[in-house]
Amino acid sequence: MTTTPLPSPAAGEMGSRVLFVIATAAQSGKSTASRRLAERLGVDIGMTSAVISERLEQRLGLPAGSVAATRRRDPERYRAEIVAEGDAMRAEGRSPGEVCVDRSLALRSLAMSSGTAS
């Protein structure tokens, strides 16, 4: 694997958007790797699993965060429902990845306008 240092934008400047996608088998450490990368680079993170779980919770009338909490104890629970929900989102023309990017951009824009962006 080859790595290249990323340029840092000047203070207060959004700079170019870089999107990292980590895709591999279920339960292989994608979330852990993503969080560590985001922390190291000081960037926002969007988890497609969170977007799908949130939508599934709303559809099933479950409390916020309950799907993720259940899956931490039992990774297989809700697997079929999550796959179906992600497929439905793509079929509707809004993939979970697009939702993550849109949310990240909206949060960054809000932070920039309120002067709280790092």
How confident is the model over 37-88, as pLDDT tens digits?
888 888 777 788 888 999 999 999 999 999 999 988 998 899 999 989 989 9
Q: How confident is the model at residue 16 (pLDDT cuts 50, 70, 90)?
A: low
In a domain? residue 15: no
In a domain? residue 7: no
Asked if residue 3 has pLDDT above 70, the reply is no
In a domain? residue 89: yes
Q: State the alpha helices, DSSP H only, in the chain.
A: 30-41, 48-60, 66-73, 79-91, 96-114
pTM, two decimal places: 0.64
Long-range contacts of 26-30 (CB under 8 A, 24+ apart): 26/75, 26/79, 27/75
Domain range for residue 103? 45-114
Tell me the pLDDT tens digit for each residue of 79-94.
Answer: 999 989 989 998 998 8
